[in-house]
Structure 1
Amino acid sequence: MRGIDEFGAADGLFRKLRAASGADWAGYTWHPFVQQLSAGTLPLKAFQHYLIQDYLFLTHFARAKALAVVKGESLAAMREKAASVLAILDETLLHLKYCAEWGLTEEQVTRIPETMETVSYTRWVMDRGLHGDILDLEIALVPCTVGYGEVARRILADSNRLVEGNPYQSWIETYGGDGYQALAEGAAKRIDALGRSHGGEARFQTLLRDFSMAARLEQRFWQQGLDACRADKIGNG
């Protein structure tokens, strides 16, 4: 496996954005939620809350990918994005099965409403796609895809990681596995390619603004699980 931060080309747009986003990116990819996943200490309620909202997020992620079909710069890109939409829709079914392994029924998952964190993130992504071009949309989407790949690498490199008996090992293996890592690498290379074809250097500051915003929204997405767990303790206290 390549280094933690080695997605995309060394001189490509993705790595430049990642480096320039600084604390926003670091706060997302090594958030306390992630650190507790690594240590195996994340409260079950926090993880269950995350799983439910992640399912709801996926439905909007599919819509954003569908918008990428409309915004696609070529027929080949449109075919690729259409395949991504179908893959995400299939993933929602797998996600429900995974939720069941954590004691969450399909009824529970589908009847709980979106949180403000989920709404703000997903609608912001759609807004960037509707008002911008394909590069604007892909910049809003890529922190999620590549970020999870980096999160897994960070956990696997963590000297304090709980290996034996970590209840979240299956989650770590999913995002640290070759399949997802290849997906993340492909997403970073896609940004590099769009940066060359759509004037990424000239638009760098605007793209950085959106890339950093997505990283901050990802932080809030992690944080809501921890907050929900604390609120539950206060309510029961």
Structure 2
Amino acid sequence: MNFFERLKTEASAEWKAYTEHPFTNGLADGSLAEPAFRHYLVQDYLFLIEFARAYALAVYKSPKLADMREAAAGLSAILDVEMDLHVKLCASWGLSPGDLEQTAPAVETLAYTRYVLDTGMRGDLLALKVALAPCVIGYADIATRLASLPGADVSTNPYRVWIAEYAGAPYQEVAARARAHLNSLADLYATPAREAELIAIFKEATRLEADFWDMGWREGGR
């Protein structure tokens, strides 16, 4: 069992609550209330701005040039690809990029992004990548599951574009590279003495991801 799989096993309850959250199931069958998705997507745009900063921090924390390039690729994926999806979807509601940037961040957005950045500032590259893993790798797992469910890709599902983006080959490759890089870092730096610390980071970041879904779910009146 590789390092990432060990993290998921140790955080199985948190991982299930995150990756099988009712919010995600509402995306698959199209039943999620639009206000819930809109609130989530706007907050996720703000979230991605801070995650871009986390990947920039990863460049600084990188001990090797190859690690710097991997972090830079992650930064580019956020700024040049993932955020564009949010802009396109929000445009259908009449929201411009300026409108998104001027939105006040929710408590859940602040809690999660500050946790990741603080973890990166205090720790090394491995600790930071563990904190980032539930987002970048988890979304690939979630979208793969959703794409396999009935109704996920029908034309009447308003969330099919979101699912297709994260279930598609380009994002799946980003997640696969992130998983491989995390495992390679763990081979070098995850000593037995650090295992409990890294598991705790992963659990907390995963819990904060579930809180992020809760934030959107409440907005839909659930």
Which TM-score band (shorter chain)? over 0.9
Distance 1:35 1:201 in 2: 37
Distance 2:191 2:143 in 1: 28
Aligned-residue offset at 1:229: 2.5
Q: 2:194 aligns with which of 203, 215, 221?
A: 203
Normalised by the length of structure 2, the TM-score is: 0.93
**1:13–1:200 Cα contact (<8 Å) kept:** no
Distance 2:215 2:32 in 1: 13
Provide runs of 4+ in structure 1 moved above 6 Å: none
Residue 56 (str. 1) matches residue 46 (str. 2): yes
Distance 2:173 2:188 in 1: 22
- Note the residue ranges of structure 2 that are not aligned, 5 or more in a row: none
Aligned-residue offset at 1:202: 3.5
Identity percentage of aligned residues:
43
Distance 1:112 1:15 in 2: 36
Aligned-residue offset at 1:203: 1.6
Answer with 86-95 or 63-72: which moved more: 86-95
Aligned-residue offset at 1:27: 0.5
Residue 154 (str. 1) matches residue 145 (str. 2): yes
Structure 2 partner of 1:235: none
SS at match of 1:202: helix
**1:48–1:104 Cα contact (<8 Å) kept:** no
Aligned-residue offset at 1:97: 2.3
SS at match of 2:193: coil
**How many equivalent pairs are there?**
220
Aligned-residue offset at 1:94: 4.4
Distance 1:133 1:24 in 2: 24
**1:30–1:154 Cα contact (<8 Å) kept:** no
CA distance change for structure 1 residues 163 and 81 in 2, over 3 Å: closer, same or farther? closer
- Note the residue ranges of structure 1 that are not aligned, 5 or more in a row: 1-10, 232-237
Aligned-residue offset at 1:200: 4.5
Once the two structures are superposed, residues 140-184 of structure 1 have per-residue CA deviations (whole angstroms, 9 ceiling, x without a partner) of: 0011001000101111233x5454221111111111111111111
Distance 1:31 1:74 in 2: 37
Structure 1 partner of 2:61: 71
Structure 1 partner of 2:115: 124
**1:62–1:89 Cα contact (<8 Å) kept:** yes
Specify the code of the residue in structure 1 equivalent to 2:177. G
Distance 2:75 2:139 in 1: 18
Aligned-residue offset at 1:93: 4.1
Normalised by the length of structure 1, the TM-score is: 0.87
**1:146–1:188 Cα contact (<8 Å) kept:** yes
Residue 45 (str. 1) matches residue 35 (str. 2): yes
Residue 13 (str. 1) matches residue 18 (str. 2): no
Distance 2:47 2:136 in 1: 13
Distance 1:79 1:153 in 2: 27
Aligned-residue offset at 1:78: 1.1
Distance 1:122 1:163 in 2: 31
Specify the code of the residue in structure 1 equivalent to 2:37. F
Structure 1 partner of 2:136: 145
**2:152–2:163 Cα contact (<8 Å) kept:** no
SS at match of 2:36: helix
Answer with 105-114 or 36-45: which moved more: 105-114
Distance 1:162 1:188 in 2: 25
Q: 1:175 aligns with which of 163, 166, 169?
A: 166
SS at match of 1:224: helix
